[in-house]
Amino acid sequence: MYEFHSFHEVHEGNTIDRPCAASKPLMALIDPRTPTSDRTMFQAIIFDLDGTLIDSRAAILDAFGKALAEKGIAPRIALSAVRIGPPLAETLRELSGSDDEALLESLAEHFKAHYDSTGYRASEVFADIPELLTALTASGTRCFLATNKRLAPTRLILQHLQWEPFFAEVYALDRETPRLPDKSTMLARLLAEQALDAQNCIYVGDTPEDEAAARANGLRFAAVSWGYGEFPNAGRLYFSTPQELCAFLR
């Protein structure tokens, strides 16, 4: 017998509990005798990165602090208050209090010098995420990554973690020139280029911004509790553990 927990689907203040085998190893949630074509309910699963799969907060804040110090700029807000997830230029503008494009570009280069060389390696993987990705890959599910993080460090992180086989493709705002304006546009590009039906796909993220981008493209959205955002209102799928998420996605 398995010990069952629940994930919560919240509708207008009411919580619907559904069972999932949370205590069973993630790979064991997949019956190897099941044909690959019958193993998934989604055409594709799209993941956010920071706050959803990895905790990069400490590494990012350290690089911000070093970049500002090297330019002799005191941060306008405490580093501990910085939101993880927005594009680099947006955060640097908030931290420096400046709209000087030359200064922001210089700060960005200092940030990249720290983060893209060694800083990215300090990112920590949330518990049970490798098992989740392994289980989805074993089931034949097509997974994609769509992140506000720049493409270069994203690929470095995937290489460092040996996660490249888990994702069919990686999308970032600077994947093309000119860079895409926002995550909503990025998801639209992903859906179009990969010939995906939005109604049969789902985006997994940790912030209301992720949810808004998904909704704008007709995607279902799965919110995770272990990231950087908060979801105070009802009306979404909400998961407390990767095991819960895996049971739903499978």
**pLDDT tens for residues 173-229?**
999 999 999 999 999 999 999 999 999 999 999 999 999 999 999 999 999 999 999
Predicted local distance difference test score (pLDDT) of residue 250: 83
Query: What would the mean pLDDT of 85-109 be, rounded to a whole number?
Result: 95
pLDDT bin (cut points 50, 70, 90) of residue 41 is confident
Q: Is the pLDDT of residue 34 over 70?
A: no
β-pairing, 201-205 vs 220-224, is parallel
Q: What pTM was computed for the model?
A: 0.82
Query: What would the mean pLDDT of 120-148 be, rounded to a whole number?
Result: 97
Predicted local distance difference test score (pLDDT) of residue 2: 26
CA distances from 49 to 40, 46, 56, 228 (A): 22, 10, 9, 11
Could you count the other beta carbons within 10 Å of the beta carbon of residue 46?
Answer: 30
Contacts of 84 (CB under 8 A, 6+ apart): 50, 51, 56, 57, 60, 228
Cis-peptide, bond into residue 75, ω within 30° of zero: no
- Identify the weakest region by mean pLDDT among 9-18, 129-138, 221-230: 9-18
Q: Are 62 and 119 in contact (CB under 8 A)?
A: yes
3-state secondary structure of 75: coil
CA end-to-end span of the chain:
20
pLDDT bin (cut points 50, 70, 90) of residue 1 is very low
Query: What would the mean pLDDT of 47-68 be, rounded to a whole number?
Result: 96
Strand residue runs (E) in 5-135: 5-11, 14-20, 44-47, 54-55, 124-125
Mean pLDDT value across the chain = 87
Predicted local distance difference test score (pLDDT) of residue 40: 53
Q: Is the pLDDT of residue 15 over 90?
A: no
